[in-house]
Amino acid sequence: MKRKLVILGNGMVGHRFAEKIAEYGGAEKFEVTILGEEPRRAYDRVHLSDYFTNRSADSLYLSPSDWYRANGIRLLLSEPAISIDTVSRKVITSAGTELPFDELVLATGSSAFVPNFEGVDKQGVFVYRTIEDLEKIMTYAKQVSKVAVLGGGLLGLEAAKAVLDMGKESHVVEFASRLMPRQLDEAASSVLKSKIESLGVRIHLNKETKQALGDSSFQGLEFVDGSVLEVEMLIISAGIRPRDELAKNSGIEVGQRGGVLVDDELRTNVYGVYAIGEVALHKGMIYGLVAPGYEMAETLAYNLCSPGQKTKSYAGSDLSTKLKLIGVDVASFGDALGQTEHLPIAYTNPRTGVYKKLVISPDGKKLKGGILVGDADAYSTLLTLYLNNVELPAEPESLIVGTPSKEGSAFGSLPDEAKICSCNNVSKGDLLGAIRSGSCSDLKGLKECTKAGTGCGGCIPQMNSILKEELRAQGKVVTEHVCEHFKYSRQELFQIAKVKGIRSFEEMIRTHGMGNGCEVCKPAVASIIASIYNEPIQKHREIQDTNDKYLANIQRGGTYSVIPRIPGGEITPDKLIVIGQIAKKYDLYCKITGGQRIDLLGARMEQLPDIWKDLVEEGFESGHAYGKAMRTVKSCVGSTWCRYGVQDSTAFAIRIEERYRGIRAPHKLKSAVSGCIRECAEARGKDFGIIATEKGWNLYVGGNGGVNPKHAILLAADLDEETCVKYIDRFMMFYIRTADKLVRTSAWLEQLEGGIEYLKDVIINDRLGINKALEEEMDNLVGTYICEWKDVVEDPEKQKKYKHFVNSEDPDPTVCFIEERGQKRPVDWPKKELVSN
């Protein structure tokens, strides 16, 4: 008989516990039931503020909708427990359901702490805790312009960011003398305060609230010092309180200040009843971070699923955290405030808003903690040194004033039990085991197998280092080189070509390579040169692949397709007739493409220049459908015709396509512009997509269709046209500069350390100080555009290349067609016949 396991709470920790039960074979031992108070399945509360941007919980859910059923788990939503009978061992739910249990796990989490001041219950006062809370906040915010957030901790600053993103005047009110008082010292808080205020958020410190102002609705705050803050809405994010009321009413022991008391095996004082996450009080500590809850969940799941084995013990958790708050990097780890015997080393740069502090042992050999504000690139390296007690270099200050390696030679010598990912409690040994199993040969697979790197992401550089070292140890080649002819990555070759003014493959391989080159490096170098100098691709014809060599896509049967540019998909009747006439003249097959263009298929090689000439004379130009270049910008009709449209998407799509036409990149680029949120142009399935709002345009990046479709991610919201174009300029040039060969923007963004938040920092906040250069480079490409078809049409020497035979004008005799549905198409390939022996 299976034992009955009931889990109270379907938050992040409750869900992780259920995952671990399934992973450890618990389905064979337990009949699992989860009670959830909220109306939706478990979601990522850490990234709750993303809901303000996406207006959808889909990206926040921790598992697919069928995950519970697939793992034999019964999930009851909107049905919390209302009482626990520890004698008859059953739980009563809000629906009156009686659930007997053999084991009971309290994962009820915490609720928002609401200070008890007069008027706190007025209309217009909200807590910031659940998706339902956010929906209420968004609805009420439509009628106000000034909002205050009570609480200057992690969640409070996230709430302030959300307020700012909604276009409201944003205030943060903090009782303490500094922001994030549990993680930052005075100096770090001062730097953070300056950075956040520069973005438009107003900070009020040392403020004790006396009462809320207003009659029935909230109109402001009056403080004990007599000052007043006039705002129209209040969001409370002033801390948490453990949800221990069920335990308290059931005779389960709780702490004097709240929290269910547990031992090192997460047991309460009642046999078979356990507590994990923010409701658990372990050695006097309530943890307000998800990583300790995950560690508790894994410990308890292992112990329940492994009877007779040596039990695991929970010894407490590290409180390290790395965040990006309103575009500002903030990280804290270990004894960050130096509360034990320590030797602090601090570095401050007021000009750039950077503060770094290390807390080291008195002998200078071990790292005890640290704080990083404004620049947290060294966080992953420092955290690994701290977690694994690695001896520091002779001059530890070099770790914050120098440029510490992101991969670091120290990681190879770490023991297998060394913790790499503190968010998900993944050790070096766990990573090595996944790699050695053969199922994880790249970073993406390693993240999926182990969950490492899926939390704050700070451990990704170490994961990458361990992955590469292990693959090398297995005798596998791990290299960033373009190919064996160049000992450089694509990014490095791009910089070499740009800095040294190299404009040909011959010069590049002579000065920085070896041998004669190959089919990998030749097109890569040609693309780099085209991306920098925008010269006609035919200048480098002999190092191109077939499509670029002939400025057309080769199709089955040996013919080529011709796709003229039709910006935004808009075309006049006269031009539509011209395309039909040219198609009839050369007997071409016509097909409307998915990108709203007309594809003329079946052209022989020798016909291409003549077809282009006819098209160019009628005002058409190359659509670059054959190149790793900017291709189409799809659009709906927008406000010009559609009754739902809020902006002129067609006009903007035409502007976008005409600006970026022909620009070469590491991979093809596609775009779309939708005139409203109904998204008829499918903008979020493109490398960059633009969606109209009442206030302007939302810009999304990093999407694609194809075999592995990806939804693009919001880069910036409610932009005017000029700002939107400026951000696209920067995004495209940053991608062209830094992506590896043949890497689409979606994969590039996934591999980019720091992901979308880092990209926002670069593109919007100019973190790297390169935005002016990116804009100038794009202006140069735009200003030097040449239609590649016209370039051939006007040059008789180039036209000579379009012959099938060197010594004859005859066409390829193997090209054959048949008729189908009134048009020609290639003959079918012969079917392979089975041959018996």
Contact residues for 215 (Cβ-Cβ < 8 A; gap 6+): none
Q: What are phi and psi of 242, to 5 degrees?
A: -65, 140
- Tokens found for residue 766: 């100019």
Any binding-site annotation on 590? no
518 is in an annotated binding site: no
- 724 known member of a binding site: no
Q: Other CB atoms closer than 10 Å to residue 358's CB: what's the count?
A: 28
Ligand-binding annotation for 440, yes or no, is: no
Strand ranges (DSSP E) for 276-421?
280-282, 321-325, 328-334, 343-349, 354-360, 367-373, 419-421
Which residue's entry shows tokens 């801390």? Answer: 239
Tokens 């919001």 belong to which residue?
714
Q: CA torsion, points 703, 704, 705, 711, in degrees to nearest 10?
A: -10
Rounded CA gap, 532 and 500, in Å? 12
- Single out the residue of 750, 736, 664, 660 nearest to residue 702, CA to CA: 750
Structure tokens at 538: 């035919």
DSSP for 378-391 reads: THHHHHHHHHTTPP
Q: For the chain, what percentages of helix, strand and coil (3-state, to nearest 5) are there?
A: 35, 20, 45
What gap in Å lies between CA 261 and CA 467, rounded to an integer?
A: 40
DSSP letters for 754-772: THHHHHHHHHTT-TTS-HH
Q: Is 147 exposed, middle or buried (0-12, 13-18, 19+ CB in 10 A)?
A: buried
DSSP H/E element including 723: helix 721-738
Element (H, E) at 598: strand 598-603
Angle, helix 649-660 to helix 721-738, in steps of 10 degrees: 40
Nearest Cα neighbor of 56 from 66, 44, 38, 68 is: 44
Q: What residues are designated binding site for siroheme?
A: 680
Q: What residues are designated binding site?
A: 636, 642, 676, 680
Q: What residues are designated binding site for [4Fe-4S] cluster?
A: 636, 642, 676, 680
